[in-house]
Structure 1
Amino acid sequence: MKTAVVYYSMSGNTQQIAEKIADALGADLIRIEPKKEYPSKGFRKFIWGGKSAVMGDRPKLQPYMLDSGYDRIIIGTPVWASNITPPIRTFITENRDMLSRIEIAAFVCYAGGGADKALDKLAALLGIDRLVATLTLIDPKDKPAKDNDEKVIVFCQKLEG
């Protein structure tokens, strides 16, 4: 099954997991980046990012390569204010037709909670009842946990099985 891992990562947590999943599944890795970066430090990071997520912003993205031959897309995003990130929202909006015809799985990285709400909002934005598989991790790069690698393996096995 031709698979792509499509992700946005500000601090590297989501990128780390995206790379592990892509490697384990032999999937293509596609990084989504906004044309205008969000503040990445201090108070502005949380206020600006949270406001953008809550307001449903859809920023313009840097060009990315995505062909229509995928059977499955795995979406990776940090959780901002119990929501998906605005760059991922833009990606979904730009690719809604293709995404409606293939399997969708997702993983989220978070620090302050809201992972389940973010996954529910992702499914709703995609117009589906549920994702094929989901994975939630607490900032895996910044706060490594012993069981993170096992969680990634189980997630990938669900997709392979």
Structure 2
Amino acid sequence: MKILIVYYSRSGITKNVANILKEKLDADIEEITDNNKYSGAIGWLKGGFNASTGRLSEINPISKNPLHYDLTIIGSPVWASNIATPVATFINKNYKDLTKVAGFVTCGSGGGEKALEKMSEECEKQLEATMILTSKDIENDLDKKINTFIDKLKL
């Protein structure tokens, strides 16, 4: 099965998880980038506002076409109980090219369920598998959570 992992990461946490998945699944990987500045406290507030109001951003082009993959795993931080604005923009531009989709989110403590529901709605597909990683999970159970997510994929 040919797998693509697509993710956005503001702080590097989602990127780290995406790279672990890439290694464990021997998948291709693509980082979603945009020209908005979401760093620092102002960027955090801006990101939460944009996500909660459904605003999209201008993301930079990606090099891999999701249409050429059997499964796309989408990773996002949780912003105001939503997927990050760059991830929402990626899905908006590519949802018709997504064959099967799985999703994971990283968050401080909550909002992951709502964010994954939003991801599924935006993709117009039921997610094959989901994973919510809180700060506590990342510190204590990361490998176990990732292995459970991979098992749910039924590869």
- Give runs of aligned pairs for residues 39-118 of structure 1, distance below 5 A: 40-42=39-41, 44-67=42-65, 68-99=67-98, 102-118=99-115
Distance apart, 1:158 and its partner CA: 2.0
Specify which structure has the bigger relative contact order, considering alpha-carbon pairs within 8 angstroms and separated by 6 or more residues. 1
* Contact 2:95/2:122 (<8 A) preserved: no
Moved segments of 4+, more than 6 Å: none
Contact 2:103 2:130 in 1 (8 A): yes
Identity %: 38
Q: Which letter maps to 2:36?
A: K
Aligned pairs for 1:1-161 (under 5 A) are: 1-38=1-38, 40-42=39-41, 44-67=42-65, 68-99=67-98, 102-128=99-125, 130-139=126-135, 144-161=138-155
Structure 1 or 2: larger helix share? 2
Q: Give the Å deviation of 1:120.
A: 0.6
Q: Match of 1:145, SS? A: helix
TM-fit CA distance, 1:103: 1.1
Would the alpha carbon gap of residues 53 and 145 (structure 1) be closer, same or farther in structure 2, given more than 3 Å must change?
A: same
Question: Alpha-carbon deviations, 1:12-47, whole Å to 9, x = none?
Answer: 110010000111001001000112222x112x1332
TM normalised by structure 1 equals 0.89
Q: Using the alignment, how far apart are the partners of 1:49 and 1:146 within structure 2?
A: 27
Unaligned runs of 5+ in 2: none
How far did residue 139 of structure 1 move? 3.3
More deviation, 48-57/4-13: 48-57
Aligned length in residues? 154
Unpaired runs of 5+ residues, structure 1, are: none
Structure 2 distance, partners of 1:131, 1:9, is: 20
